[in-house]
């Protein structure tokens, strides 16, 4: 039987500080993604038509809400239950695999957003590309549904691979007469296989995202060259649309890669180098990336910006009424 040894532990102050910042990141992530979700969901409740962009943002924010919940569970598991030992606890492995699956679903929805921007903004000259762009702009709801189905299929495959690997590890341990070193290597190999399997499943969606984003970058460069040739100093709506779309997509690419690298780097930190502090830094990065991208999405969307302005105006007027109520002597005499 494997003994539980507390290797590379961190002080309780560090654990408490990490848990505090994890809860803070969870609150911020839930706040900004719930805002995106509720603004668009409220339009559905009022039976107002949602644009294709709103549908994508609704789906993306829903996956981010689940993602933040899993990251909070991961932080709690890491600080209170998962000791730095081999093998990793089954519950901790399950949270990591579920995070990979939900992150993959978010990547599919971000790919739909990139394809939508590409079809709406880029001006194609080839007849086939024009038809493809027109088809994509009309089929966004079906693409979102297909992305959800593909995510479910990948979920089933990843979970089957994960649980079958766990079952194989248990059977192998029984056959090897509980050899400690061999058991550790088998458990580690089985989990790395599931982690790699889930990571490789995101290659098709990530490739589509890169291609469509690359087309946008090329279109922006061509448009800037045309504007320089015309030397027009007036405001250019097409250039602003390119800039907003690329700001959203480039920020997603950078934050997604940062989050994925943190997830990949946390594996050897936990299982090979036994550095819980390093894993805490990686989990913090993984939690900060979705929140940061949600803020960028809000700043680049006119409908969400108007909703933010409405909330701020309401809060400002409520605060002003409260202050006037306190400073008015007639009101104070009634109290």
Residue 276 lies in a domain: yes
pLDDT for the residue numbered 6: 42
Residue 331 lies in a domain: no
Angle CA 280–80–9, to nearest 5: 60
pLDDT for the residue numbered 333: 47
The closest alpha carbon to 52, from 125, 133, 167, belongs to 133
| Torsion sign across C-alpha atoms 240, 207, 108, 131 | positive
Strand, helix or coil at 135? helix
Domain of 155?
Answer: 14-161+197-231+238-307
pLDDT for the residue numbered 327: 66
Burial (CB < 10 A; 0-12, 13-18, 19+), residue 159, is middle
Write the DSSP string, 139-190: -HHHHHHHHHHHHHHHHHHHHHHHHHHHHHHHHHHHHTTT-HHHHHHHHHHH
Residues 51-71, buried b or exposed e (16+ Cβ, 10 A)?
A: ebbbbbbbbbbbbbbbbbbbb
Residue 324 lies in a domain: no
DSSP state of 201: T
d(CA 171, CA 61): 40
Residue 166 lies in a domain: no
Spatial CB neighbours of 278, under 8 Å, sequence gap ≥ 6: 265, 266, 269
Angle CA 31–39–302, to nearest 5: 100
Residue 174 lies in a domain: no
| H or E segment to which residue 215 belongs | helix 203-230
Write the DSSP string, 264-306: HHHHHHHHTS--HHHHHHHHHHHHHHHHHHHHHHHHH-HHHHH
CATH code of the domain containing 223: 1.20.1070.10
Total domains in the chain come to 1
The closest alpha carbon to 252, from 302, 212, 220, 222, belongs to 212
Residue 27 lies in a domain: yes
pTM for the full model? 0.84
Residue 68 lies in a domain: yes
d(CA 203, CA 55): 24
> Splitting the chain (335 residues) into consecutive groups of 10 residues, what average pLDDT does each group show?
44 88 94 95 89 93 94 88 65 84 91 92 82 89 90 80 59 49 56 74 89 89 75 66 87 92 85 81 92 92 93 88 66 44
pLDDT for the residue numbered 3: 36
Residue 332 lies in a domain: no
Beta carbons of 289 and 258 less than 8 angstroms apart: yes
């Amino acid at each position: 039987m494997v003994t539980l040894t507390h290797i590379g532990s961190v002080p309780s102050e560090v654990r408490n500080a990490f848990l505090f910042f994890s809860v803070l990141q969870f609150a911020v992530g839930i706040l900004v993604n719930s805002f995106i979700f509720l603004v668009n969901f409220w339009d559905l409740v009022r039976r107002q038509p949602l644009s294709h962009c709103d549908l994508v943002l609704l789906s993306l924010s829903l996956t981010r809400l689940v993602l933040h919940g899993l990251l909070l569970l991961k932080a709690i598991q890491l600080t209170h239950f998962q000791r730095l030992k081999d093998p990793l606890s089954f519950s901790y492995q399950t949270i990591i695999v579920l995070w990979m699956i939900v992150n993959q679903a978010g990547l599919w929805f971000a790919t739909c957003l990139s394809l939508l921007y590409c079809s709406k903004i880029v001006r194609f000259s080839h007849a086939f590309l024009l038809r493809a762009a027109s088809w994509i702009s009309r089929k966004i709801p079906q693409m979102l549904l297909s992305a959800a189905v593909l995510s479910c299929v990948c979920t089933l495959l990843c979970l089957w691979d994960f649980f079958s690997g766990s079952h194989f590890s248990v059977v192998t341990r029984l056959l090897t007469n509980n050899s400690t070193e061999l058991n550790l290597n088998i458990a580690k190999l089985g989990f790395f296989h599931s982690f790699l399997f889930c990571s490789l499943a995101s290659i098709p969606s990530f490739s589509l995202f890169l291609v469509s984003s690359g087309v946008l970058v090329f279109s922006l460069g061509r448009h800037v060259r045309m504007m320089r040739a015309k030397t027009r100093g007036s405001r250019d709506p097409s250039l602003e649309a390119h800039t907003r779309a690329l700001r959203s997509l480039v920020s997603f690419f950078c934050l997604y890669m940062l989050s994925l690298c943190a997830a990949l780097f946390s594996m050897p930190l936990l299982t090979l180098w036994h550095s819980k502090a390093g894993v805490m830094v990686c989990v913090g990065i993984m939690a900060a990336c979705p929140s940061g991208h949600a803020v960028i999405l809000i700043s680049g969307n006119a409908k969400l910006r108007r909703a933010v302005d409405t909330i701020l105006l309401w809060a400002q007027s409520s605060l002003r009424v409260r202050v006037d109520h306190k400073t008015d002597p007639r009101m104070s005499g009634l109290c």
